[in-house]
Structure 1
Amino acid sequence: MGTRIVRLTISVEELPRALALYEGVLGLIRRYAVEGLVMLATDSDVGGSGIEVLLHERIPATGDAGVAPSFTVADVDAATEAAVEAGATVIDEPADQEWGERQSVIRDADGHVLCLVAPL
């Protein structure tokens, strides 16, 4: 069996606030929730090959040196605007990139850096 990324665990201070972005704006699918944890995924197939995103309610320790996951969205500009409404701040405004994507870079309300991307 080869190595692949199966899960990103993201520390968040408040689950409802984080869910507004990760579930509401990015459209990640909720697989389950227990006290202090919500498991989301990039696809709705429980046995699928999507990546799990575990929101863990605890005080985040973040920084720009951390890993910045990229999430595909249908419309980078609209998703960036919705992310700001959900509490994110913009680091890099939406722009076309030479590698063939439109991308914005945001910081969620807990300080994590995320990239929102769509093919050109």
Structure 2
Amino acid sequence: MTSVRRIVVSVSDLERSSAVYSGALGLEPLWANEDVARLRAGDAELMLHRRTPTPAEFGVAATFAVDDVDSVTTAAVSAGAELVHGPDDEPWGERQSVLRDPDGHLFCVVTPIQEHGTAGTAGTA
């Protein structure tokens, strides 16, 4: 494998979900039609696909690196996301918020905590 190319999220309403992912998180719109919206997420892409969503509390959660977790969290909640946890400084060296998009999918926004070491990243359980 060379990289993650795309994450696909099933959504019931493209406009409502785009307000969270593009409007609040700042992902760049690349292309859209009535069923699909492609958004740039760094070197990868987030595809919002209009179809029946089946969110799960303990499934896969996309994590987005942002410059300011607190302001992005506020913007995401204003755009229709639900705050699940945070923003908090986590022991693995990131400030993180966990949110739920309008269809119930979990996602995280993170930024590194300054001057944090790499303790716990190798050789620990």
State the 1:115 CA deviation. 0.6
Q: How does 1:33-112 map to 2 (within 5 A)?
A: 33-43=32-42, 50-112=43-105
Structure 1 residue ranges without an equivalent (≥5): 44-49
**Counterpart in the other structure of 2:13:** 14
Structure 1 position 5 matched with structure 2 position 1: no
State the 1:3 CA deviation. 4.3
Q: Percent identity?
A: 46
Structure 2 residue ranges without an equivalent (≥5): 114-125
**Counterpart in the other structure of 2:116:** none
Q: How does 1:107-118 map to 2 (within 5 A)?
A: 107-118=100-111
Residues 50-95 of structure 1 deviation map (CA, whole Å, 9 limit, x = unaligned)? 1111000112011112200100111111111111111111111201
Larger Rg belongs to: 2
TM-score, length basis structure 2: 0.85
The separation in 2 between residues aligned to 1:8 and 1:102, in whole angstroms, is: 23
Residue 15 of structure 2: SS of its match in structure 1?
helix
State the 1:96 CA deviation. 0.5
TM-score, length basis structure 1: 0.89
Count, aligned residues: 113
The 4+ residue runs of structure 1 with deviation greater than 3 A are none
The separation in 1 between residues aligned to 2:34 and 2:108, in whole angstroms, is: 28
The separation in 2 between residues aligned to 1:106 and 1:35, in whole angstroms, is: 26
